Amino acid sequence: MLFRSFLGIWGFILYTYIITILPLTLTTVVFQTNPFWMSLLGICFLKERVLCLEIIGMFVCFGGVLMVTLAPKEQSKLSADTKNNNMIIFGLTLCLLQSWSHSFAQMTNRILKVVPWYVTMFFISSFGLVTTSIIVFV
């Protein structure tokens, strides 16, 4: 449960930092790839069966996310200079890392399904409160 709590806090810290780098719409679209990553983790670690149609659907949805992410943007926030492009690539990388972190956290929730939900939520909330308090007040 400590690992799951750490992933949850890490994901939230990354998300709050990423929205200072990237537009919120782009951040949200890339973050919403976590069902795709969760499906892949379920196949690899939890040995879940997936139909061929589901695999095709996952890749079509992921392709749609790529099209939205790589589409030409407005010049207001995303200009063509190199420094800004490097920050966009850095932000997208962090956003994918955050999405993976959330997917791993959800996978640990599925593994911990034998533990009552209120015990899991209490532990995650307590760890989050302590960690956030340390980050804010130190």
Q: Is residue 74 part of a domain?
A: no
Write out the E strands in the chain.
Answer: none
Q: Is residue 94 part of a domain?
A: yes
What confidence category does residue 83 fall into, taking pLDDT thresholds of 50, 70 and 90?
Answer: low
What average pLDDT does this structure show over 48-68? 84
What average pLDDT does this structure show over 74-94? 69
Q: What is the pTM of this model?
A: 0.69
- Is the pLDDT confidence value at 82 over 70? no
- Reading the block at residue 100, the tokens are 């993976």
| pLDDT the model gives residue 98 | 87
Q: Residue 124: which residues within 8 A CB-CB, separation 6 or more?
A: 1, 4, 5, 8
What average pLDDT does this structure show over 73-82? 53
CB atoms inside a 10 Å sphere around CB 58: 18
Q: Please, what is the average pLDDT of the chain? A: 80
pLDDT digits (tens, 9 = 90+) for 22-42: 888 788 888 888 888 888 888
| pLDDT the model gives residue 80 | 52
Q: Is residue 33 part of a domain?
A: yes
Q: With contact defined as beta carbons under 8 Å apart, do 5 and 123 qualify?
A: yes
What average pLDDT does this structure show over 52-65? 85
What confidence category does residue 4 fall into, taking pLDDT thresholds of 50, 70 and 90?
Answer: confident
Segments forming the whole domain that contains residue 108: 2-69+79-137
The structural domain count of the chain equals: 1
pLDDT digits (tens, 9 = 90+) for 117-138: 788 778 778 887 888 788 778 7
The number of C-alpha atoms within 13 Å of 11 and in the hemisphere containing its C-beta is 20
- Reading the block at residue 4, the tokens are 């799951």
